[in-house]
Amino acid sequence: MSDTPILKVAVNVPLSREFDYLPPASGAVPAAGCRVQVPFGRRQQVGMVLGLAADSALPAGKIRRCDAVLDDAPLLSAQDLWLVRFTSDYYHHPIGEVVAAALPSILRQGKPLCPRVEMMAITAAGEAVDIAAIASRAPKQAELIAALVDAGGDGLEANVLNEMLPTWRRSAKALLAKGLILAFEARAPEMDERLAAAREPGPTLNDDQQQALSILRSSDRFGAYLLDGVTGSGKTEVYLQRMHDVIKQGKQILVLVPEIGLTPQLVDRLRARLGIEPALLHSGLTDTARLAAWRAARSGAARLVVGTRSAIFTPLRNPGLIVVDEEHDLSFKQQEGLRYSARDLAIAKAKHLDIPIILGSATPTLEMLHHCRNGTYKHIVLPVRAGGAKPPTLRLIDTVRAPATDGISQPLADAISKHLDDGGQVLIFLNRRGFAPTLICSSCGHIAGCGRCDSRLTVHAHKQQLRCHHCGFNRPLKEQCDECGEIVRPLGEGTERIEESLLSRFPGFVIRRIDSDSTQRKGAMDAALKSATAGEADILVGTQMLSKGHHFPKLTLVGIVNADQGLFGTDFRSSERMAQSIIQVAGRAGRESRAGEVLIQTAFPENKFWSTLINGGYRQVTNDALAERELTRWPPFTRLALLRSAAHNRADAHRFLEVARRHLATSANETLRVLGPVDAPMARKAGRHRAQLLLQSADRAALHHALRELRRQLENDPAARKVRWSIDVDPIELI
Ligand code: ADP
Ligand code: ZN
């Protein structure tokens, strides 16, 4: 045995194992957390060194050498690697793919942490020229000279010039030849600790907030604090104060938010109140901007890091606090590939780092409430709205007695008129975009379906299209039935139809639709939210996008058009979800001096769900749901995992799961229940047949043990080659 260490390397391939390599023939041995370039099969791959070992299970001659070490110092610290390993173990996902998810794409590709960037600058000769004289012959050249003169000695990045003067390269040629400008390379600029303008003071906290804050201040060590406060109760004010303490201690804060595009108000507030420019990490950034923010978090220059779910993997040099805002939001769970919950990883990370984590919500999940009852998390309640705003009142409209035309019943229409006359703003909520969810033939009853999914095509009137919301398929909208040639008509309502119906009922008022169709253009979402906040729009129509954390000062009425979708849901979480979405959207009403009103259209006003929600509020809904789940042994009283498979034909998808079921039977464990295989609720999607096997156990360790064995067996099973399969731990939807 020589004393050359063996590198344990994670490679981005769908296999659980780590791979053994020798360090390069010359140069220093890379430390854990450095990237290496390795031969893998016939290709080259970027790998991450996870650790060093004295020996390998492979015979010495079989171990390949890595070709290059890509980092002088570890990119990921021991703590960051801990999170990567934990994620891989907990979600039973290949470690190389977890590393890939944890790195910005530039680093995943093996490029340097501090890339060299192409720069242009003015020369002394260039500064001396007469720009006006050049402008008359070659206006583009003059523009480039002027821009570089303005930039001074530091010059400008080529990337920046691309945005400013898209055709600058053509002008640059001549100017470079004449020595008026020069090109060079520089290190990408670092994001330094950026202070925003002076810190703005906040309101004086009320007693409930004060008490919440003192509990949060009681320790700088690990503790999970559920800040459970009704909408507008001042949760954000409480976080802000606690965050300020942490900033003063010189430590970093990570804030996870559902979607940055939907919460510009929160980002503005953090900036203003903490006096710090946050480093933002979200999917809308360019790769270079993302890397810059990641670097700033890693170096500690960014004191405040605000991001969506994948930001949980961002290295922090000196972390002091994690905040998860709107803990209940579904977007914290990734629903494809590495199916992780950023909220749950945030808790694990805080525990490992021994720092506090605050989870905020007006509608906390049953999982968090259950932990609070157990005493593992601390429950902090803010029961009333801060600053004197009243809670909104909820009322039902029975659509059997008062039928809706084009989605709006007479009582709802009357209420809209009244609120508009009083100068209020109105929000109409429904969770369906497009014009109508169904196109039906008035003669033969044929319904337009998607050829690749078990789903109906949605009518989109603006684009004159039929679209599948599951696979993206679309085709032009026709007026005749495919089957019999008779006239077809749209059935049911989507946001477009409600918008149209409101336009004809309330002429002269400004109506704004906000859904993923209307906000596709860059900046459209921001503009729509600004106009909603400023009160320029009288009526807002939209999907759950509108329910998230916004503060629309003039909003006094919320109308929920079709609330019945969730009443008879098949998922055991249906009622919890529905209560969350109603309470969240209701929470947009009456946030200032004028009281808010919420009207809910339902064809089933007698359903027990409504009396529970209206009389007992979200608290009662969750108390009932917890009691029921305890009886029926669903989470949070048991743990679930789903094994999913998809194949071109149904038999393959099922056969694979049968194989899995047999493997599970051999690792016999009496606490483990295995249900299925069954078809997925939407069995065919995008041309593939989908099936699933549900694993359930009250014993978390037993479940994970079974999953670990199962994964190992399936990776080597020939049945796996015919299907796409995945494991989903703590699934949030059983589909
Ligand atoms: P939440 O995060 O619970 O929705 P916010 O912190 O956004 O609540 O507060 C809701 C509104 O009430 C904001 O306009 C905020 O400025 C105001 N507010 C919060 N706390 C107080 C307070 N103690 N006194 C007066 N106004 C407050
Ligand atoms: Zn489809």
DSSP, residue by residue, 307-359: E-GGGGG---SSEEEEEEETTT-GGGB--SSS--BHHHHHHHHHHHHT-EEEE
The string of DSSP letters for 668-731 reads --TT-EEEEEEEEEEEEETTEEEEEEEEEES-HHHHHHHHHHHHHHHHT-GGGGGSEEEEEES-
380-384, 666-670, 705-709: which has the minimum mean pLDDT? 666-670
Match domain 207-383 to its CATH number in 2.60.40.10, 3.30.300.180, 3.40.50.300, 3.50.50.60.
3.40.50.300
Architecture of domain 639-729: 2-Layer Sandwich (3.30)
* Cβ of 580 less than 6 Å from ligand 1: no
Q: State the distance from the centre of ligand 1 to the C-alpha of 238, rounded, in angstroms.
A: 9
* Cβ of 232 less than 6 Å from ligand 1: yes
d(CA 70, CA 33): 11
Compute CA distances 546 → 359, 415, 554, 578, whole Å: 21, 20, 15, 15
Structure tokens at 551: 């503060």
* Cβ of 14 less than 6 Å from ligand 1: no
pLDDT of residue 341: 98
Q: What is the DSSP-derived secondary structure letter of residue 553?
A: T
Under the banding of pLDDT at 50, 70 and 90, the label for residue 189 is low
Cβ-proximal residues to 612 (8 Å cutoff; 6+ apart), any chain: 620, 621, 624
d(CA 652, CA 691): 10
Arithmetic mean of pLDDT, 668-676: 85
Q: Cα 471 vs. chain centroid, distance in angstroms?
A: 20
Of 67, 96, 77, give the one whose Cα is nearest residue 8: 96
The residue contributing the CA closest to ligand 1 atom 24 is 387
Three-state SS letters, 409-452: CHHHHHHHHHHHHCCCEEEEECCCCCCECEEEECCCCCECECCC
pLDDT of residue 1: 43
* Cβ of 383 less than 6 Å from ligand 1: no
Tell which wins on pLDDT, 26 or 350.
Answer: 350
Cβ-proximal residues to 126 (8 Å cutoff; 6+ apart), any chain: 145, 148, 149, 175, 179, 180, 181
* Cβ of 22 less than 6 Å from ligand 1: no
Of 455, 501, 495, 459, give the one whose Cα is nearest residue 682: 455
User: What kind and span of H or E run contains 599?
Assistant: strand 597-602
Arithmetic mean of pLDDT, 342-369: 98
* Cβ of 229 less than 6 Å from ligand 1: yes
Q: Crossing angle for the helix pair 410-421 and 495-505, nearest 10 degrees?
A: 60
pLDDT of residue 193: 60
The residue contributing the CA closest to ligand 1 atom 10 is 232
Residues of the chain above pLDDT 70, percent: 98
Highest mean pLDDT among 121-135, 217-231, 706-720: 217-231
Cβ-proximal residues to 505 (8 Å cutoff; 6+ apart), any chain: 408, 413, 416
CA angle 640, 645, 646 (to 5 degrees): 145
* Cβ of 205 less than 6 Å from ligand 1: yes
Indicate the pTM of the whole model.
0.90
Work out the number of other CB atoms within 10 angstroms of the CB of residue 316.
24
pLDDT of residue 194: 62
Q: State the distance from the centre of ligand 1 to the C-alpha of 241, rounded, in angstroms.
A: 12
Compute CA distances 4 → 25, 28, 56, whole Å: 10, 11, 11
Pocket test of ligand 1: the residue of 236, 552, 583 to mutate, having most ligand atoms within 8 Å of its CB, is 236
The fold for domain 6-108 equals: GIY-YIG endonuclease (3.40.1440)
CB 558 within 8 A of CB 586: yes
Q: What would the pLDDT profile of 264-276 be if each residue is shown by its tens digit?
A: 788 889 999 999 9
* Cβ of 212 less than 6 Å from ligand 1: no
pLDDT of residue 157: 87
- 3-state secondary structure at position 54: coil
Q: What would the pLDDT profile of 304-327 be if each residue is shown by its tens digit?
A: 999 999 999 999 999 999 999 999
pLDDT of residue 251: 97
- Around ion ligand 2, residues with a beta carbon closer than 5 Å are 450, 452-453, 468, 470-471, 473
In our burial notation (b when 16+ CB lie closer than 10 A, e otherwise), range 105-139 reads: ebbbeebebeeebebbbbbeebeebeeeebeeeee
Of 267, 207, 261, give the one whose Cα is nearest residue 233: 207
Ligand nearest to the CA of 202: 1
CB 169 within 8 A of CB 140: no
Of 584, 596, 573, give the one whose Cα is nearest residue 550: 584
The residue contributing the CA closest to ligand 1 atom 25 is 387
* Cβ of 638 less than 6 Å from ligand 1: no
* Cβ of 587 less than 6 Å from ligand 1: no
Arithmetic mean of pLDDT, 544-557: 87
Question: Residue 588 pLDDT more than 60?
Answer: yes
CB 713 within 8 A of CB 706: no
pLDDT of residue 197: 64
pLDDT of residue 55: 86
Q: What would the pLDDT profile of 434-460 be if each residue is shown by its tens digit?
A: 999 999 998 899 999 999 999 999 999
- The minimum-distance atom of ligand 1 relative to the CA of 587 is 4
Q: State the distance from the centre of ligand 2 to the C-alpha of 442, rounded, in angstroms.
A: 23
Domain covering 389-436+492-629 in this structure, CATH number: 3.40.50.300
Cβ-proximal residues to 553 (8 Å cutoff; 6+ apart), any chain: 533, 535, 591, 592
Q: What is the DSSP-derived secondary structure letter of residue 13?
A: S
CB 621 within 8 A of CB 613: yes
Question: Residue 514 pLDDT more than 70?
Answer: yes
Q: State the distance from the centre of ligand 1 to the C-alpha of 232, rounded, in angstroms.
A: 6
d(CA 309, CA 340): 9
Question: Residue 202 pLDDT more than 50?
Answer: yes
**What pairing do the DSSP bridges indicate for beta strands 639-647 and 724-729?**
antiparallel
Q: What would the pLDDT profile of 120-155 be if each residue is shown by its tens digit?
A: 999 999 999 988 888 888 999 999 999 999 988 888
Q: Cα 406 vs. chain centroid, distance in angstroms?
A: 33
Under the banding of pLDDT at 50, 70 and 90, the label for residue 735 is low
Question: Residue 405 pLDDT more than 70?
Answer: yes
Q: State the distance from the centre of ligand 2 to the C-alpha of 474, rounded, in angstroms.
A: 8
Of 394, 404, 381, give the one whose Cα is nearest residue 209: 381
Judge if 6-108 and 389-436+492-629 fold alike in CATH terms.
no
Q: State the distance from the centre of ligand 2 to the C-alpha of 683, rounded, in angstroms.
A: 11
Of 178, 126, 125, give the one whose Cα is nearest residue 147: 126
Work out the number of other CB atoms within 10 angstroms of the CB of residue 16.
17
The string of DSSP letters for 609-622 reads HHHIIIIIHHHHHH
**Sequence ranges of the domains in the chain:** 6-108, 116-187, 207-383, 389-436+492-629, 439-487, 639-729
Ligand nearest to the CA of 451: 2
In our burial notation (b when 16+ CB lie closer than 10 A, e otherwise), range 174-199 reads: ebeeeebbbeeeeebeebeeeebeee
Ligand nearest to the CA of 688: 2
Ligand nearest to the CA of 384: 1
pLDDT of residue 2: 54
d(CA 705, CA 708): 5
Q: Cα 688 vs. chain centroid, distance in angstroms?
A: 26
Mean pLDDT of the chain: 92
Pocket test of ligand 1: the residue of 237, 270, 323, 324 to mutate, having most ligand atoms within 8 Å of its CB, is 237
Work out the number of other CB atoms within 10 angstroms of the CB of residue 489.
12
Ligand nearest to the CA of 686: 2
CB 689 within 8 A of CB 649: yes
User: Which runs of consecutive H residues, i.e. helices, occur in 569-639?
Assistant: 574-586, 608-611, 617-632
Q: What is the DSSP-derived secondary structure letter of residue 664?
A: H
Q: State the distance from the centre of ligand 2 to the C-alpha of 458, rounded, in angstroms.
A: 10
- The minimum-distance atom of ligand 1 relative to the CA of 233 is 3
User: What kind and span of H or E run contains 654?
Assistant: helix 650-666
- The minimum-distance atom of ligand 1 relative to the CA of 382 is 3
pLDDT of residue 20: 96
